[in-house]
């Protein structure tokens, strides 16, 4: 029996080893551009443009980061991104929870129509609404303002659907008992249902924040003054009158993406949970 099973075990071991080696190669292939960006930001400009490939800087310098931090408005850009992304996150989670609760548990005229409109919204990609958003924000004088950046980003049908799915799954006995004790609808939502799904709410809040922070197209169109730009748009203003400065440009990109990278690393499990919830709904 041992002689028979050994060849099979060896084949399994060889297959596992080959799969591991393939995973390592894919990981290296994926991570190398990130490594190359980080190394480039630590080189003097003249070393970057010289012929040849250097996998490690001959002369280590933080001049690119120093320039971006002290010679640009990156602090203001960070503040703008924090305000807009935080506001979008708070508003999306609050409105989605309220909408999901209403559609799931309340009876009101047009309830089914509202639900079908939310489902139908998946057929319209958000970029297709950019022109309408721009015209509307222009007409109500909200271009170059935080509100003009925030409002068009509040469309989040997936979040509404996730909340509705959760509220549908909660046993009705909980709600009936709370209603018998005199709880209002607001108390039911904020004191009963939401405390039962803090995990889902946290996951959705994190992934909404990351998405809002990384937004580029709409903030790029809605804002033209540097003091109102988000960090993703502001880094495009890191230019030099004497040509392209690769280290500075890449350093600004690294600093722009650093906050969301840290958020992802710290809350990786929550982000993964939110992605799985979103994919499950869309599937």
**Domain holding 81: CATH number?**
1.10.3720.10
d(CA 76, CA 267): 26
> Which position has the higher pLDDT, 2 or 259?
259
Q: If DSSP codes are grouped into helix, strand and coil, which group holds residue 18? A: helix
Does residue 42 belong to any structural domain of this protein?
yes
Band of residue 45 on the pLDDT scale cut at 50, 70, 90: confident
Cα distance between residue 198 and residue 192, in whole Å: 11
| pLDDT at 213 (0 to 100) | 93
In a domain, 245, yes or no: yes
Judged by phi (left if over 0) then psi (alpha if -120 to 50, else beta), residue 238 lies in beta
Does residue 110 share a domain with residue 50? no
Answer whether residue 68 is part of any domain. Answer: no
Q: Which two tokens stand for residue 140?
A: 């109500």
Average pLDDT over residues 68-96: 93
Lowest mean pLDDT among 36-45, 51-60, 69-78: 51-60
- Quick one: average pLDDT of 57-71? 88
- To 5 degrees, how large is the angle CA 150–CA 228–CA 208? 30
* Domain membership flag for residue 79: yes
Does one domain contain both 195 and 111?
yes
Chain centre to alpha carbon of residue 139: 29
Residues 51 and 83 in one domain: no
Q: Check pLDDT > 80 for residue 79.
A: yes
- Say if residues 72 and 238 touch (Cβ distance below 8 Å): yes
Q: Average per-residue pLDDT in the chain? A: 85
Would you place residue 2 in the very low, low, confident or very high pLDDT band (cuts 50, 70, 90)?
very low
Domain-terminating residue out of 41, 63, 85: 63
18: containing domain: 2-63
Nearest one of 218, 217, 203 to 280, comparing CA atoms: 203
Query: How large a percentage of the chain has pLDDT more than 90?
Result: 28
Region 256-280: mean pLDDT is: 75
Q: 150 and 33: one domain? A: no
Judgement on whether residues 98 and 36 belong to the same structural domain of the protein = no
Domain count, the chain: 2
Q: What is the pTM of this model?
A: 0.82
% of residues, the chain, pLDDT over 70 = 90
Q: Are residues 59 and 102 in the same domain?
A: no
Give tens-digit pLDDT for 160-187: 988 998 888 888 888 888 888 888 888 8
Residue whose C-alpha is closest to residue 281's, from 145, 96, 114, 22 = 96
pLDDT on residue 88: 96
For residue range 217-251, list pLDDT tens digits in order. 999 999 989 889 999 999 888 775 556 788 888 89
Of the given ranges (84-98, 115-129, 245-259), which has the lowest mean pLDDT?
115-129
Q: How far apart are CA 238 and CA 178, in angstroms?
A: 57
User: Do residues 126 and 240 share a domain?
Assistant: yes
Same domain? For 86 and 32 the reply is no
Final residue before a domain boundary, out of 63, 91, 110: 63
């Amino acid at each position: 029996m041992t002689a028979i099973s050994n060849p099979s075990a060896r084949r399994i071991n060889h297959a596992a080893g080959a799969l591991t080696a393939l995973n390592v190669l894919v990981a290296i292939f994926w991570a190398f551009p990130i490594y190359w960006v980080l190394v480039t930001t630590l080189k003097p400009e003249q070393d970057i443009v010289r012929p040849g490939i250097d996998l490690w800087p001959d002369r280590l310098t933080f001049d690119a980061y120093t320039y971006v931090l002290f010679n640009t408005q990156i602090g203001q850009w960070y503040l703008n991104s924090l305000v807009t992304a935080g506001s979008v996150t708070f508003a999306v989670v609050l409105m989605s929870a309220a909408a999901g609760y209403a559609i799931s548990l309340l009876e009101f005229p047009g309830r089914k129509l509202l639900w079908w409109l939310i489902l139908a919204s998946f057929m319209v990609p958000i970029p297709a609404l950019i022109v309408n958003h721009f015209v509307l924000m222009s007409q109500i004088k909200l271009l170059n303002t935080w509100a003009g950046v925030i409002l068009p980003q509040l469309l989040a049908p997936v979040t509404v659907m996730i909340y509705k799915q959760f509220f549908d799954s909660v046993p009705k006995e909980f709600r009936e008992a709370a209603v018998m004790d005199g709880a209002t609808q607001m108390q039911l939502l904020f004191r009963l249902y939401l405390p039962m799904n803090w995990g889902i709410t946290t996951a959705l809040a994190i992934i909404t924040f990351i998405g809002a922070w990384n937004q580029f197209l709409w903030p790029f169109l809605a804002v033209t003054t540097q003091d109102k730009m988000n960090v993703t748009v502001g880094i495009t203003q890191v230019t030099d009158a004497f040509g392209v400065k690769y280290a500075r440009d890449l350093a600004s990109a690294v600093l722009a993406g650093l906050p969301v990278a840290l958020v992802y690393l710290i809350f990786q499990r929550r982000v993964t949970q939110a992605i799985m919830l979103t994919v499950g709904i869309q599937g």
